[in-house]
Structure 1
Amino acid sequence: MIKIAFDPIYAHELPENHRFPMLKYELIPAQLLHEGTCHPEQFFSPKSCTKDVILWTHDAEYLTKLVDQSLSASEQRRIGFPQSELLVRRELIITQGTIDACHFALESGVSLNVAGGTHHAFADRGEGFCLLNDMAIASNYLLKHQLASKILIIDLDVHQGNGTASLLQNESRVFTFSMHGATNYPFHKEKSDLDIGLSDGTDGVTYLSILAETLPRLIKDEKPDFIFYLSGVDILATDKLGRLSVSLADCKERDRFVFSLCKQHEIPVVVALGGGYSPDIKDIVEAHCNTFRLAMDFFS
């Protein structure tokens, strides 16, 4: 059975200025259950990630600041949210959800997190709405427990995975691949193992062509035995922050292509959702739900 990590903290529990960006995390499971794509027993609520696991990736001083709510005003501005105990608890749950999903993916081929993809978090700081880097933490978890020997992170959010690149730059067993808007946030890019910067206005045909030229070769050359896939939907033409011109259908085709390669090569994959900032929440939810629908089609 394909298992899905679901953060039990609801948008209405958060401060008012946090609610809209968090609303999708309630609506996505509701839609998947309503249409019958997923069933209640597939969803699980993770516990909080433990301190020792986080410290394999993040600095102790930074974690203490998060837990003690002692971030400076400038550190909070860099993250984009004022600090709150609820947000930290949510981030700890999301991170554990990605770790738990690794175990489920090893059993069923795929597992998904209705959140995660917090790729702007660095060892000593958060940025861009990201406090802890769930995929970097989960990668180190897999390596520490000898559950994977070579990991490929496929980051297709419109924003470069700068925190992920920095955190894993000296870990040869993890290959970081980020395809993102060249002139979009973050304005200072870190160096992933492979970065592909896309011009503003890149359309779906061009986007899919570049991905088709790149990803099969990466899998052939790197021979990963585990994949993380950050399936951000801020590549959509409707996205207010994305600056690309990718259609909903082409975004769906992107997911189909990634899953087809994982299935073909029998590589377990954990999916986290990443960004999506279209003004109409329906566009965000539909694009994310397509990722889940395709995962069910390929791996059920």
Structure 2
Amino acid sequence: MDSKLYYDIRETQLPIIYRPEYNVHFLGLEKLHPFDAGKWEKLHPFDAGKWGRIFQFLKNAGIVSDRTVTIPNLATKGDLLVVHTKKYLKSLKCSLRVAYIAEVPPICIVPNYFVQLGYLQPMRYQTGGSILAGKLALERGWAINIGGGFHHCSSDKGGGFCAYADITLLIKFLFNNFPQKVKNVIILDLDAHQVRFPS
């Protein structure tokens, strides 16, 4: 498989993965999600800017810097097809479908070009970060992707603000690229509610 998601990092880099493009900024529509950040303080799971604030917190604490953070690449259609069906990925070109997945109804009237840029592209960057985190965890013994964890998505369904099955993709990439090292995987989900769509 030809993917640019796996790459080697410098010894001075940490396996803490983030890029500013993780943050969903979508004309304020991201605040219309039923679990708006205003209800749950600053770092609620659906707070679209939380990833930047988490990274800034880690920088302020001296844990990571712009030079030591690992910056992931964007998950491409080819990367996503490792798990997702072509039909599902094509359905994301319909703003109505994406509005259902994101649980933000007004997205249905937004031209899909803007939906791709404002919502789906940040999700693809975070998915790339999750996949890279799997490789780095094997190499370094640990890794943290500040974004990702889209556990409401499966190969042909999305929901709960989750458009891509990054956890399943991480596992498939590990099985495909490290078959001698990875035989079994356990997913420990510490979210406050149950997964809707096991992948």
For structure 2, the 5+ residue unaligned runs are 1-12, 32-36, 38-46
* CA offset digits 1:69-95 (Å, max 9, x no partner): 214x36622431326112111111111
Structure 1 residues 78 and 94: CA distance shift in structure 2, 3 A: closer
Q: 1:4 aligns with which of 6, 16, 31?
A: 16
The 5-angstrom pairing of residues 64-103 of structure 1 reads: 64-66=90-92, 69-71=93-95, 73=96, 76-81=99-104, 82=107, 84-86=115-117, 87-103=119-135
Q: 2:159 aligns with which of 127, 131, 141?
A: 127
Structure 1 residues 39 and 126: CA distance shift in structure 2, 3 A: same
Q: When the two structures are superposed, what TM-score results if normalisation uses the length of structure 1?
A: 0.50
Matched, 1:60 2:91: no
Distance in 2 (CA, whole Å) between partners of 1:9 and 1:135 is 19
Report 1 or 2 for greater relative contact order, CA contacts < 8 Å, sequence distance ≥ 6: 2
Matched, 1:157 2:191: yes
Distance in 1 (CA, whole Å) between partners of 2:161 and 2:194 is 14
The percent of aligned pairs where both chains have the same amino acid is 26
Q: 1:33 aligns with which of 59, 65, 71?
A: 59
- More displaced, 96-105 or 18-27? 18-27
Which structure has the bigger radius of gyration?
A: 1
Distance in 1 (CA, whole Å) between partners of 2:136 and 2:172 is 17
For structure 1, the 5+ residue unaligned runs are 168-300
Instruction: Give the match's secondary structure for 1:14.
Output: coil
The Cα shift of 1:34 comes to 0.8
Specify which structure has the higher proportion of helix: 1
How many residue pairs get aligned? The number is 162
The Cα shift of 1:155 comes to 0.7
Instruction: Give the match's secondary structure for 1:62.
Output: helix
Q: RMSD in angstroms over aligned alpha carbons?
A: 2.1
Q: Is the 8 Å Cα contact of residues 22 and 126 (structure 2) preserved in structure 1?
A: no
Distance in 1 (CA, whole Å) between partners of 2:23 and 2:135 is 27
Partner of 1:42: 68
